[in-house]
Structure formats: C-alpha cells, structure tokens
C-alpha cells in the first residue's frame, strides 16, 4: 500500500476552513454573549435538554458521524484490513451510542412516557443509560475527553516536531491537525469553569460548560471521521 507517500502530501486533510476553524470559533462568542446578555433566552433556546440548540447539535453531529463511519466499513481498504475495520466499527458504535443517548433514544422527539420500572433506575426519568450509572456516563465521557486531548492536541503538536509520525503504518487513523482548534476550545470551555470556580465564585464564561464541552467533543469526532473517510476513499481510488 502507498500510505507513506500519500500521507506526506496530506491532500485528504484539506477540509474547508468553515468546518474546522470558522464554525467552532464562531460558536464560542455566540454562546458566551447570549448566556450573559439574555440568560433566560439562553436557558430556553440554547440549553434546554429537549429543544435547545445545543441538544439538537449533540444529536445531529454524532448521527452524521455514525453514517460516515458505517459508510467507511464498506470501502475496500477498510474491508481488507481487519484492524482498520475494527477501529472504524468501534467509532461507529460510539457515535450511535452518543446520538441515541443524547436523544434518549428518540424520547426527546417522540415524547413517550418512561416505563415505571425504568423510572426507578434513571435519576432523570428518561429512557437512556447515562443517567443510570457513571459507568454509562462519566466513564465514557472521560475516555472521549482523553481521546480528544491526545488526538486533537498532543498528536498534532508532536507530529509537527516529528513528521515521521505522519508516515507510520498507522498514520491513516491519526487525527488531523485541523482538529486542534476544536479540541482546544473543548478544553478551554470546561477549563474556564474550573478556574473561575476557584478564583471568582459563581462567575462563569460559558453557561453549563460541560454541555458546551460535549458539543465541541462531538464536533471533533465528526471532523476526524470526515478526514478519515476522505483518506479511505483516496486509497480506494
């Protein structure tokens, strides 16, 4: 295979700046501005669990990522390499889990009543798993955050100083450098809450920073799979 020659050129990673730079950067001041100038409006139309802008983004983005991942599983280069098929398969399952859980597997849109037995288990009375135990919520979130930090921040910086990393046999699955702004914003959003909590009491930069961070996490995953899909299709040509 021609991975070494191909990835030294990075043709597949040339994604529109509107996706990897403009959109994530523009979202931050919008969220900050609305949350501080119109908190009630923000709470109703941005932060609401079922009808807020962020909640819809948190369903739509991983759902799109899931479709991309499933499509890649049918590509010849993926089917020919079991390790790559497994990697993308895990990504697809992860995206399906995120989208399903964020929508309570359709309850937020259809509005069915939670069964009584599940009400006793779910601390928010919804038909999802992440409100049942930290093993379905905080643990997967910590794994995702670690992946975003390593893949979105450490790998691009290390790869800049060690270009050979991008020519390794596993280079096809390395996150692209274009994920760096989104990964940094994800950490800044939550980091700002931690710092202000220590030094400024109840002050905040982002309202419910955890939700903002999750939005950036999911956007990073989508960017990663967009680039990975382009790399796979380039190898298939």
Longest dimension (CA), the chain: 59
Alpha-carbon span 161 to 167, nearest angstrom: 13
pTM score of the predicted model:
0.92
Q: Which two tokens stand for residue 143?
A: 């794994």
- pLDDT (0 to 100) of residue 118: 76
Alpha-carbon span 211 to 49, nearest angstrom: 10
Alpha-carbon span 31 to 206, nearest angstrom: 7
Which stretches within 103-208 are classed as H helix? 107-110, 116-119, 138-149, 155-161, 180-199
Strands (E), 55-98: none
Question: What are the percentages of helix, strand and coil residues in the chain, rounded to 5?
Answer: 75, 0, 25
- pLDDT (0 to 100) of residue 4: 39
Return the minimum-mean-pLDDT range out of 2-16, 100-114, 189-203: 2-16
- pLDDT (0 to 100) of residue 195: 86
Please write the tens of the pLDDT for every residue from 16-50.
999 999 999 999 999 999 999 999 999 999 998 88
Please write the tens of the pLDDT for every residue from 155-208.
999 998 998 898 889 999 999 999 999 999 999 999 998 888 777 767 889 999
């Amino acid at each position: 295979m021609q991975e070494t020659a191909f990835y030294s050129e990075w043709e597949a990673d040339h994604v529109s700046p509107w996706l990897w730079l403009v959109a994530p950067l523009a979202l931050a001041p919008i969220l900050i501005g609305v949350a501080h100038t119109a908190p009630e409006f923000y709470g109703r139309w941005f932060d609401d669990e079922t009808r807020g802008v962020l909640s819809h983004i948190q369903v739509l983005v991983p759902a799109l990522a899931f479709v991309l991942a499933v499509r890649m599983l049918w590509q010849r280069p993926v089917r020919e390499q079991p390790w790559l098929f497994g990697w993308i398969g895990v990504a697809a399952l992860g995206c399906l889990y995120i989208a399903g859980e964020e929508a309570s597997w359709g309850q937020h849109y259809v509005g069915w009543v939670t069964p009584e037995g599940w009400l006793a288990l779910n601390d928010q009375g919804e038909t999802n798993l992440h409100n049942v135990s930290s093993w379905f919520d905080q643990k997967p979130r910590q794994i995702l955050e670690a992946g975003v930090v390593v893949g979105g921040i450490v790998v691009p910086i290390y790869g800049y100083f060690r270009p050979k990393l991008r020519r390794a046999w596993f280079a096809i699955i390395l996150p692209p450098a274009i994920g760096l702004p989104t990964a940094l914003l994800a950490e800044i959003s939550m980091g700002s809450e931690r710092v202000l909590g220590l030094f400024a009491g109840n002050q905040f930069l982002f309202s419910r920073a955890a939700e903002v961070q999750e939005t950036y996490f999911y956007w990073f995953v989508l960017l990663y799979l967009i680039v990975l899909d382009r790399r796979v299709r380039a190898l298939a040509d």
